[in-house]
Amino acid sequence: MGKRNRKAFWHNVKFKYKLTIINENTLEEVVGIHVSKLNGLSVLLCVCTVIFVIAALIITFTPLRNYLPGYMNSEVRKQVVSNALRADSLRLALERQNHYIMNVQDIISGRVKADTVLSIDSLTNVRAENLMERTKEEEDFRKQYEEKERYNLTAVRDVSDAAGLIFYRPLRGVATTAFNPEKKHFGIDFTASPNGSILSALDGTVILAAYTAEAGYVIQIQHTQNFITVYKHCGSLIKREGDRVKGGEVIALVGTKGDTENGKPYIHFELWHKGNPINPEKYIVF
């Protein structure tokens, strides 16, 4: 019965049908095509394959690849950041221009004396403060923050050290363990999806790409202005020692098993500056 059913199935699939086109007036056969279900399925698969290949080529060799996660190059990222900063500057300039025009109107209408000692810029700042009055909660917060940061010289130094640098998020994941140098934890742990992409935080050169017994696959990158990033517990490495990498470029992949935290693969990320570990959250938005 099994052989008979298989033979019947293949006979049905390979059975050929004749598709005929006939002239309505003369009843003469114009075109006759012999087709089967197997031939139709083969043609459909070939068409789908060709469409898939064409779509993959278009995405790979055109700017459309920049819209895929992990494939946006550093030039496009810098342009996006530059455009955002420029738009913010234009917004501030427009607000200041509106305040300026309102002040000129006040002077012309007589609300402000023409011989006042205040300049136009001073009037603009006064008007801006009047339009947005500070709440009591904001005043209390400002006082607390100013008292806390009055003798904090580290923040000023960190800003100057990272001037002109754009840090990229190394991977998409959830932070599970924060930076805590008191407990010898010099980075941040992230749980991530298996086989996820690990990106370089900055442009630089790979100075270490090896496997260690304690941290699994480790990759270390030297950046400009004496910054070093370390990526531990990787599943596999894509870059080798001596390779030049761009910010946002894929350098390794998250593992699927082995080093896990809470039953999920995780990555340990460290940021060092002039031989000292620093909190990555000061420079990168996770």
Say whether pLDDT at 174 is over 80. Answer: yes
Q: Quote the number of domains for the chain.
A: 3
User: Is residue 138 domain-resident?
Assistant: no
Predicted confidence band at 82 (pLDDT cuts at 50, 70, 90)?
Answer: confident
Q: What are phi and psi of 182, to 5 degrees?
A: -60, -30
Residue 178 shares a structural domain with residue 201: yes
Give 236's strand partners: 253
- Rounded to whole angstroms, the Cα distance separating 269 from 102 reads 51
Parent domain of 247 = 173-282
Residue 227 shares a structural domain with residue 272: yes
- Rounded to whole angstroms, the Cα distance separating 7 from 271 reads 67
User: Is residue 207 domain-resident?
Assistant: yes
Residue 38 shares a structural domain with residue 96: no
Predicted confidence band at 32 (pLDDT cuts at 50, 70, 90)?
Answer: confident
pLDDT of residue 150: 53
- Rounded to whole angstroms, the Cα distance separating 116 from 60 reads 65
Task: Quick: pLDDT tens for 128-142.
Answer: 555 555 667 777 777
- Rounded to whole angstroms, the Cα distance separating 202 from 248 reads 7
Question: Cβ distance 234 to 198 under 8 Å?
Answer: yes
- Rounded to whole angstroms, the Cα distance separating 20 from 41 reads 20
Which one has a higher pLDDT value, 133 or 104? 104
Helix (H) or strand (E) holding 32: strand 29-36
Q: What is the DSSP string of 5-23?
A: HHHHHHHHHH-EEEEEEE-
User: Is residue 39 domain-resident?
Assistant: yes
SS3 label, residue 195? coil
Residue 41 shares a structural domain with residue 92: no
User: Is residue 160 domain-resident?
Assistant: no
Residue 253 shares a structural domain with residue 274: yes
pLDDT of residue 187: 93
pLDDT of residue 156: 41
What's the token pair of residue 36?
Answer: 């089967």
Task: Quick: pLDDT tens for 220-255.
Answer: 999 988 899 999 999 899 999 999 999 999 999 998
Residue 38 shares a structural domain with residue 89: no
Residue 249 shares a structural domain with residue 180: yes
Residue type, 65: R
154-162's contacts with Cβ under 8 Å and 24+ in sequence apart are: 158/278, 158/282, 158/283, 161/225, 161/226, 161/273, 162/225, 162/227, 162/283
Residue 19 shares a structural domain with residue 99: no
Say whether pLDDT at 189 is over 70. Answer: yes
Predicted confidence band at 153 (pLDDT cuts at 50, 70, 90)?
Answer: very low
State the CATH number of the domain containing residue 210.
Answer: 2.70.70.10
SS3 label, residue 211? strand
Distances (CA, A) of 14 to 7, 20, 21, 37: 10, 18, 22, 6
Q: Last residue of a domain, which of 18, 34, 60?
A: 60
User: Is residue 96 domain-resident?
Assistant: yes
User: Is residue 163 domain-resident?
Assistant: no
Instruction: Report, as an integer, the average pLDDT of 154-178.
Output: 73
Taking the alpha carbons at both ends of the chain, their separation in whole angstroms is 63
Question: Cβ distance 253 to 197 under 8 Å?
Answer: yes
User: Is residue 94 domain-resident?
Assistant: yes
pLDDT over 90 percentage in the chain = 26
- Rounded to whole angstroms, the Cα distance separating 171 from 43 reads 42
User: Is residue 149 domain-resident?
Assistant: no
Say whether pLDDT at 154 is over 60. Answer: no
Residue 26 shares a structural domain with residue 77: no
Sign of CA dihedral 191, 192, 198, 202: negative
Please provide the average confidence, as pLDDT, over all residues in the chain.
Answer: 80
Residue 20 shares a structural domain with residue 119: no
Lowest mean pLDDT among 99-113, 213-227, 265-279: 99-113
Residue type, 247: G
Residue 203 shares a structural domain with residue 253: yes
Residue 10 shares a structural domain with residue 46: yes
Strands 216-223 and 204-212: antiparallel
